[in-house]
Structure 1
Amino acid sequence: MADTTNVNDDTLPAGSETVQYKTSETSFHQHDYAWNWTGPATGGDWTDPSNWVLTNAGNPVDTTGGSFSGNAIPQSEQNADVNVGTSDSATPFMVVSNAVLYNQIRSLSVWQNSTLKITAQGGNGNVFATAGVENYGTIIIDTPSKVELGGVTSGNGTLTIMNNNGNVTLDDARLNNGTLNLVNSTLGSETSPVSIAGGTVNLQNSTLVAGLYGEGSTLNVDPASANTIYVQNLYTNDSGSVQNTVINGVSENTHFGVLSGGDSTPTSATYAENTDGSYTLTINLSNGRAITYPTVHVADGFTPATHATIVQDGTKGWLIEDAGTATASASYVTSDLHQQMATTAAAAVSTGGDTSQYSSSAVSFHQHDNAWRWTGPATGGDWYDPKNWTLYDGQGHVVDTTGSSYNGDAIPQSEQNADVNVGYYGNTTPTTVVANAPSYNQIRSLSVWQNSTLEITAQGGTNYNGYVFATAGFENDGTILIDTPSKVELGGVTMNRDDGTITIKNNNNNVVFDDNTVNNGGTINLINATLGAATNPVWVNGGTVNLSQGSSLFLNPSESVNTINVDPSTVNTVYVEANGFLHNNSANNQNIVINGVSANTHFGISGVSSAPTAATYTPNDDGSYTLTVTLADGRQLTYGDIHTADGFTPAATASIVQDGSNGWVVEDNGTTTCFLAGSMIRTPDGDVAVETLRLGSTVLAFVNGKAVERTVTWAGRAHMVAKTGLRDAEAGYPVRILKDALAEGVPYKDMLVTPEHCLFINGGFIPARMLVNGRSVVYDRTMPSYDYFHVETAEHSVIMADGMMTESYLDTGNRHSFRQNGTVVSFGGRARTWNDDAAAPLVVSREVVEPIFRKIEARAVNSGLENTAPAPVLTEESGLYLVTSTGQTLHQVRTANDRVMFMIPSDVTDVRLMSRTARPSETVGPFVDDRRDLGVLVGEITLFDSGNTIRIDQHLTEAGLAGWDVQENIAARWTNGNAMLSLTARQPNSLGMLAIQVLAAGPYLVTSEEAETAHTA
């Protein structure tokens, strides 16, 4: 396999220290050159050269020859301001851009009474792009394709985005003032939420993913359609964040979302009525803070429930869904808000008329006419030093760059309509160029040739978060090194050739390929970096990708074979967008060879609604492995060519952990049962620290109460980093057992072990996690990372640590997670099992563990130890409701005995059963070894429709039905809080009644506030 240990060394001093290079931003928004619209007032085609005039300081520029090639439109001279209308014009202008134009313009101004409508469609990057926009008129974007509005966005105009699912990009993730209309669209993402300062936002069947203060001063939602408002899980003070936004039109169709990625999770959501008839929505977080919407106006006929339901969203975070009552939901379509938004949408559609009258042919300005060539020093050259560049025209003649338009800054960003060359074809002299200052103008194309290196180290300022380096496309035969946390755009035409290397360091998904595609014949190195996202995976067509130092790759599989090398010594994750390779119900093998896999390697799955239920490794004939992941719907994902690191053997069964923001992660299934440093192990010579034991050391084991000497046959060490966003029981925090917790001197000092480590009590081994009481046995959250150790004897033993009986290491298949202390020995033999090889039985039954738990807990209470984890407040109320495929919420109309009744409109053919969820190990107690997320236990389901009584048993007959737990008996099945259910063919214009038998529900965790409200009601 490929050696990944030297990836980082190879990328070090391309340009040495950056202090020698320019750091200040260069701005080319000089208001010198300007394109002015001189075409018709209505129905003007952006791509018709007769509609534009280019001026320099107000004087017309001849655009009939040279580099314009008959296409004298703004994208043919990018270093100019573009004006649709004029600042003082009362004449309406309406311009349509219907053809794909991948080149970015410098700045765009849409003036009063003027309209720009973008309808172009294409798939190789942004179909329309500007580095900045000021809008005092109207911009309509009606395309599913990518549109870039740049990093400077201002003006009090109107921006309408239609039929676009998150493909409108604001480089600075910020929109200032004016009116924003979202119609059947999404703006923002969980990795780049949008902040909207002031103005008005209107949502119709849309989603806004916002920053902390991201909804504008007024936010109107169409009550008749499903709309979602996400905000970041952040805070501004110790109390939390207050969203100072007036929100109008809220109904049962309105969802409030909380993005994952913060340091806490939402625990409850409550509505309180204000004196003026509006409501305050408070979302309480697990860290004690809250997100508050103090001014929520509801639609006529809708009354929110006091307590809303929190549902985890597998792609973004959590949704707050209301379980209120709607007495007049049918009237929503006649409401003023709905009518106003419908009128706005209809007007936007009709603007400009039929698009067939406009050009739809893509215009390319990559003419290989003008070209910038590097003529600076071979090493240590500064990109932003004009002395280092020479501009040539299409005939190879040097262009005079001393004129006024360059202003002394004759570098590629000052004449964007030229190809940029670092080195030259066939170059044999190593050349290194460093771009250390931000430059927000996009260049046309970039070529880094053989033996040449471009190092991008520029970082954005505190007031701007746009691209610090941008190109519409590149071809790389040399090396591109990106070592910055800031945004870098590599364009829509991406060619990393056979000898090319792209290295991305210390960057969290801020390197952007406009088309999410890299044609890769060479090598991509990720070092402490993330490339792609769950919602925007990257197509890497061929070549090699190396991951090290905690990197993640979100991959869209391609037909070309990819080789991925992972550093086995650090945690790295390879995510695959599952829908990219799932076909029908058959297994599908990836064109991926993965080398260096160890216990630190995680495989992620994103983009599927059906949860993975099993992950298994099977050995291949050549010594490699096949990883097969089975989904609940029966489909399978297969990695057929996995090569492991030396000394690592994967367990036959891997574990699957849900990742709240990205999907699911498949991890090595070895159970971590270990001591932390400082644990004192009993030996014939007294107690010694566990970290000092080596192969051949002697420890004391206890057999039938007698001490016997046993030799250490293996001593292992590994490192743990807790997953701070998960529950304590899953996160990996160590368990601290306080001194004297079990008895006087047991243990004789605080003991630190991993949660699965077993204590020997009453003749059996009990995992430490099952004894956590919040007083004398606690999760220690002050230790987010730590080394852990274990020792093995020839046979599994009861040993003593810190004065407490406990276990030695039992190799159940996770030995590969550790590294050896001392002499390296050969590991052989089979993996052992608790049934056949344990020194005592593993005890997890509640009947045995709970009395021991209670005894330890009582001792802690009698000792006066405070409870650092208060007993949970519980409810039996499930909050059960239904959601249709269009996002409509259906609430209970009544209950009868154990049946819950719902009215079902005639056009609804499938629903999701939504409810609270709870883990018995949390709601009953850790002494219950059941860590499933359970919603409600469903028995019979009956649909009464137009006089017909239809029994639905899909949940009892389909084993892989999404959202349902493993079926434990033939008559009932638990949901997981979000369970799919298909209804039979419906009668037209009917109103059905769905009866769901709920045999068990809860208990569920609620806040103390909710419990008190329920008690006093």
Structure 2
Amino acid sequence: MGETPISSVDFQQIENNSVSVGGSVDQYQNGETSYHHHDMSWRWVGGPTGDWSNSENWALFDSAGHVVDTSTTGSPAIPQSQQNADVNVGASGNSTSPVTIVANAPIYNQFRSLSVWQSGTLKITAQGSNGTHGNVFAVAGFENDGTIIVDTPSRVDFGGVTMNRDNGTITIMNNHGNVIFDDGNLNSSGTVNLINASLGNAGQPVWVSGTVNLQNNSSIFLNSGYGATLNVDPATVNTIYMQDNGFLNTGIDGTNNQTAVINGVSENTRFGIAGLNTAPTSATYTANQDGSYTLQITMANGSNLTYNALHMAEGYTPPAKLTIVQDSATSGWDIEDTSSIGGTGGHYTDNSLHQQMTAVATNATNAGGDTSQYISTPESFHQHDMSWQWTGANSSDWNDFKNWTLLDSNGHVVDTSNTDYWTDNPIPQSQQNADVNIGVMDSTAAPSIVVDNVADYNQIRSLSIWQSGVLKITAQAGSGYVGNVFATAGFENSGSIIIDTPSNVELGGVTMNRESGTITIMNNQGNVTLDNGALNNGGTLNLINASLGTVDKPVWVQGGTINMAKNSTLFAQPGISYSSAVTINVDPTTVNTVYINDSGDKANAGNVVLNGVSQNTIFGIANLTAKPVSAVYTPNSDDTSYTLTVKLTNGQTVTYGSITPAAGYVPSTTKIVEDPSNHGWLIEDGNFTACFLSGSMIRTPNGDVAIENISLGTQISVFDWKNNREVTRSVVWVAKAHTTARSSVPVDEAGYPVRVLKNAISDGVPYKDMLITPEHCLFFEERFVPVRMLVNGRSIFYDTSITSYDYYHVETEEHSVITADGMLTESYLDTGNRSSFRQEGAVAALRAIGTRNWEEDAAAPLCVARNVVEPLFHALEARESVVEGCQMPTSVPVMTREANLHLIMSNGAVIRPIRYDNGAYSFMLPAGVDAVRIVSRTSRPSDVIGPFVDDRRALGVSVSTIRFIGSTVQRRITTHLTAAQDGWYESNSQNAPVWTDGNALLPLSAQTQSKMGMLIITVHAAEAYRVEPELTAQAMALSA
């Protein structure tokens, strides 16, 4: 390969400049604000049933009640075309004629306020197309005395001022967690119906009063301690989650009484717990004197969660004890009745509560009739009748009205001093139907730096940042606030936008980052929203400790440059750019991840060039139905770049076509790591990193020196073990890198450092706590042993309190046995990851010696053999009594030999074995089954046997034979042997047993002819399986 260019991007300078802009945020206003004062109102003038998006159905009135000419507000003239107005649906009083309005077209413009009166029904059916990230319907606040029906899976935002009155009903259908109340609170004395819907989520619970009805697989995530009446359909599965918001976790003997009255409880009702740092250990029912029941859930920390007023459905008698089931979707637990018969709910057909809820669902579905009669074309409005101009100081506060001047369409100044008509702080969000301008079209002008430090959920119409303009958004949401702290329906940027907040920021659907424009997102993990999932980028996008997009909502970035540093992640659509090339520069010294999301199992990174790739660069793939089986780098014809090709078990490929490595880095082997938090996989460098953390003391002839103070030419002490003598060698390279641990993967692969306690090896060795990376080797009896194989959890353990850290390499001319903290260990061996480190301070300049390998260049052999490492492991473990500060495991892992083997069909149905005989499991297959997945517990030998076993594969069961017996056919199934299949490890030979990874695809149709029959799978289970530490086997229900 030719010489690789060194990246010219100064990532540290980008961060320093962004942080310093605007100075300390302490000088700016903070808190939260909102605007609901409106100068006009929209009224429905259509028929009893009509289309929200038809302008003939609406009339706009001014504050004096006069009709307003809407010819200049935008077309069509509907509420979102003039955002600074109230919208009225129906009329006050039950005697007036009913009106039903259907909003079937997605519109991401927010309007000021919504009033649904007694005779009014608003039904929202708009659905965003694939790639839509923003709201399909949005209002800054509402009051409801009538009926609001949400029947869409897309995001709907009801704002921060919420009032569902006595007569009001809100029905949410077929929507899971995408109906938003900005401050997490629904003030309700009315009724909320959930039909195949979820309200709130595990991280953002809601406060709800009034009555809530749940049916047909619905869930509600409630803040602890909030009172309401909940009715659950006994015939369908529904879940009530209690979210920890500080009321739980009171400690030993603490009791948290939940005052909600819950009716209709049956075997289909589940009680969920999310967001706790302790686990439930038992759940028991006791009968109350009034015929109701109390459910007490006891936690591992000694506290209790109690529901005092549970009313059972007629005919249901609850068991004394319930089952605790892990809930991977919420990282919590479900409390279920798995003992009762009749879980399908058929025996509740005549139950009055069930019948009432069925009628509610039918009426909500039928309201407004067939949606095909309504407009479905998405709309957006960016025409504005006024504009806000920044006229303040060169560096000042967005939220100080003295810095803004409002101009009408003719350029005349608008008087905003009348507080009866305006607010007492007239800033852009107070008049939403206006463009906002910062800076001027002159790059030589003094910069106008505007800092917005106040959370405001009112959306502005459009935002223009000119060449001399800088907007920095630092506003942070308070506790319980789930809306946007800053929102615009669209923007164009020729200057600089800096987002430095973890909270939600909406940049709208019309997004234009021009050639001179720079957008910097810092310290924000997936909470910057591009409404249509696309950024038209001719300029530069910087991600610093930030994520853009999510696994469910990846983004299109069209053109320009993306710079990524400090544990940043980009979730990109396949073919990230349509036509203009995208250049992605990654900081080689910090961990960064580029994801390609594609549900079609075939993705190409498109017109994309990636520069600076190093051992710290991770490639992610998500939303695939097949598992990656290989990831291979191949050189391109330019003799500089590479192509990374990821092959899947179904034969498809994911390709990154132009990868230019950082100077000194040669891509070679890769490692595929499952990423359960993003439902995908990570492609990482397969060359393991062996490093020292800051403070490690390196022995020199003049005494021990901290590694961060070692420099080029320093003489260090080296142990010549072959001649049993100490010699000195010169340092030819010392370098530094930074990493951040990933809690979503196993602890030994997450990147946490290993702490070797003082005296853990022998008396005085090491002479202080030693901190090194897991693959770093210690020297024992003429061999190097990776420290990860010696971790005993007591004197040698992963220090999970250190989640982000700098680490160092020290290299001598030859790979050497050196002494650190009094322990013999290794110097740096360059196996191709040199570019992952940077030089700074006293760190020496790079001296590339060439890539080396363990077989030919190591100072001593690398040993991972169990027969050598296991005795060493036990010898060090036995020193626990003489080592101070040993860790005590928080809980003893529960082990089982039961594999919990079962099958899952393509429709999600679970098939349990009907017979087990000496390793042979028999399953009855229905007709028409083309494939099943063989699902079981998994274990890693390094976990269940010990880290001294160098096998970290997740093993399910070892399958020796599979047979199918039908009425007319008997045959051996071999489809898992003839080609690479999802969930199977490679076998040593055609007839040898094959291990699954716990979820293995087994095609059947060709060999079973899709007929009914018996599938017999003969397996050998793993030596043991690890059960979640907090739960006992008796308290854990196993399900697919």
Task: Indicate the TM-score class for this superposition, using the shorter chain for normalisation.
Answer: 0.7 to 0.9
Which amino acid letter does the alignment assign opposite residue 351 of structure 1? Answer: A
**Of the candidates 510, 522, 526, which is equivalent to residue 543 of structure 2?**
526
Which amino acid letter does the alignment assign opposite residue 406 of structure 1? Answer: W
Q: CA deviation at 1:707?
A: 0.6
**Of the candidates 146, 154, 157, which is equivalent to residue 148 of structure 1?**
157
Q: 1:939 to 1:347 in 2, by over 3 A?
A: farther
1:573 is the counterpart of 2:593: yes
Show the counterpart of 1:599.
615
Q: 1:721 to 1:44 in 2, by over 3 A?
A: closer
1:380 is the counterpart of 2:395: yes
Instruction: Give unmatched runs, 5+ long, in structure 2.
Output: 1-6
For residues 34-82 of structure 1, the C-alpha deviation after alignment (integer angstroms, 9 at most, x for no partner) is 4344544x3133345565555556x422224563579654334322322
SS at 2:84's partner residue?
A: coil
For residues 186-222 of structure 1, the C-alpha deviation after alignment (integer angstroms, 9 at most, x for no partner) is 6556776666566425242566677778997637367
1:998 is the counterpart of 2:1019: yes
SS at 1:488's partner residue?
A: strand
Q: CA deviation at 1:486?
A: 3.2
Q: 1:222 to 1:2 in 2, by over 3 A?
A: farther
Show the counterpart of 1:419.
435
Show the counterpart of 1:60.
65
Pairing of 1:524-923 with structure 2 (within 5 A): 524-556=541-573, 557-560=576-579, 561-579=581-599, 582-583=601-602, 588-620=604-636, 621-654=638-671, 656=673, 658=675, 660-661=677-678, 663-677=680-694, 679=696, 681=698, 690-691=707-708, 693-694=710-711, 695-704=713-722, 706-718=724-736, 719-819=738-838, 823-833=844-854, 835-860=855-880, 868-869=888-889, 872-906=893-927, 909-923=930-944
Q: CA deviation at 1:633?
A: 3.4
> 1: CA distance between counterparts of 2:100 and 2:707?
77
Show the counterpart of 1:158.
169
Give the TM-score normalised by the residue count of structure 2. Answer: 0.84
> 1: CA distance between counterparts of 2:263 and 2:720?
68
> 2: CA distance between counterparts of 1:283 and 1:946?
51
For residues 533-552 of structure 1, the C-alpha deviation after alignment (integer angstroms, 9 at most, x for no partner) is 11122221212222234332
Q: 1:873 to 1:200 in 2, by over 3 A?
A: same
**Larger mean Cα displacement after TM superposition, 779-788 or 435-444:** 779-788
Pairing of 1:59-138 with structure 2 (within 5 A): 59-64=64-69, 67-68=72-73, 73-91=78-96, 92-112=98-118, 114-123=120-129, 125-138=134-147
For residues 219-252 of structure 1, the C-alpha deviation after alignment (integer angstroms, 9 at most, x for no partner) is 7367657x77777788643549979475966768
> 2: CA distance between counterparts of 1:829 and 1:508?
38
Which amino acid letter does the alignment assign opposite residue 619 of structure 2? Answer: F
Q: 1:689 to 1:19 in 2, by over 3 A?
A: closer
% same residue: 47
Q: CA deviation at 1:697?
A: 1.0
For residues 633-665 of structure 1, the C-alpha deviation after alignment (integer angstroms, 9 at most, x for no partner) is 343322222233334444443553535346333
Q: CA deviation at 1:117?
A: 0.8
Q: Does the 8 Å contact 1:910/1:983 carry over to 2? A: yes
For residues 462-509 of structure 1, the C-alpha deviation after alignment (integer angstroms, 9 at most, x for no partner) is 464432322212222333333333332221122222332222233333
**Of the candidates 202, 212, 228, which is equivalent to residue 200 of structure 1?**
212
Pairing of 1:187-586 with structure 2 (within 5 A): 196=208, 199-205=211-217, 218=230, 220=232, 236-237=248-249, 239=251, 244=258, 246=262, 272=284, 274-275=286-287, 310=326, 317=331, 324=338, 327-329=341-343, 331-332=345-346, 335=349, 336=351, 341-360=357-376, 365-368=381-384, 370-374=385-389, 376-377=391-392, 379-380=394-395, 382-386=397-401, 388-394=403-409, 401=416, 404-407=420-423, 409-423=425-439, 429-430=445-446, 432=448, 433-462=450-479, 464-556=481-573, 557-560=576-579, 561-579=581-599, 582-583=601-602
Q: CA deviation at 1:452?
A: 2.9
Show the counterpart of 2:4.
none
SS at 1:848's partner residue?
A: helix
Q: 1:542 to 1:251 in 2, by over 3 A?
A: farther
> 2: CA distance between counterparts of 1:529 and 1:296?
47
> 2: CA distance between counterparts of 1:882 and 1:211?
37
SS at 2:599's partner residue?
A: helix
Q: Does the 8 Å contact 2:389/2:407 carry over to 1? A: no
Give the TM-score normalised by the residue count of structure 1. Answer: 0.85
> 2: CA distance between counterparts of 1:903 and 1:331?
24
SS at 1:1005's partner residue?
A: strand
> 2: CA distance between counterparts of 1:444 and 1:863?
65
> 1: CA distance between counterparts of 2:75 and 2:895?
74
SS at 2:953's partner residue?
A: coil
Q: Does the 8 Å contact 1:371/1:420 carry over to 2? A: no
Which amino acid letter does the alignment assign opposite residue 511 of structure 2? Answer: T
Show the counterpart of 2:36.
29
Q: Does the 8 Å contact 2:735/2:810 carry over to 1? A: no
Show the counterpart of 2:3.
none
SS at 1:442's partner residue?
A: coil
Instruction: Give unmatched runs, 5+ long, in structure 1.
Output: none
Q: Does the 8 Å contact 2:930/2:1010 carry over to 1? A: no
Q: CA deviation at 1:155?
A: 1.5
**Larger mean Cα displacement after TM superposition, 806-815 or 250-259:** 250-259
Q: CA RMSD in A?
A: 4.4
Q: 1:49 to 1:807 in 2, by over 3 A?
A: closer
Q: CA deviation at 1:106?
A: 1.0
Q: Does the 8 Å contact 1:877/1:1002 carry over to 2? A: no
> 1: CA distance between counterparts of 2:707 and 2:451?
49
1:7 is the counterpart of 2:27: no
Q: CA deviation at 1:116?
A: 0.8
Q: Does the 8 Å contact 2:664/2:834 carry over to 1? A: no
> 2: CA distance between counterparts of 1:910 and 1:43?
48
Which amino acid letter does the alignment assign opposite residue 481 of structure 1? Answer: I
1:976 is the counterpart of 2:992: no
Q: Does the 8 Å contact 1:142/1:161 carry over to 2? A: yes
SS at 2:136's partner residue?
A: strand
> 1: CA distance between counterparts of 2:567 and 2:880?
40
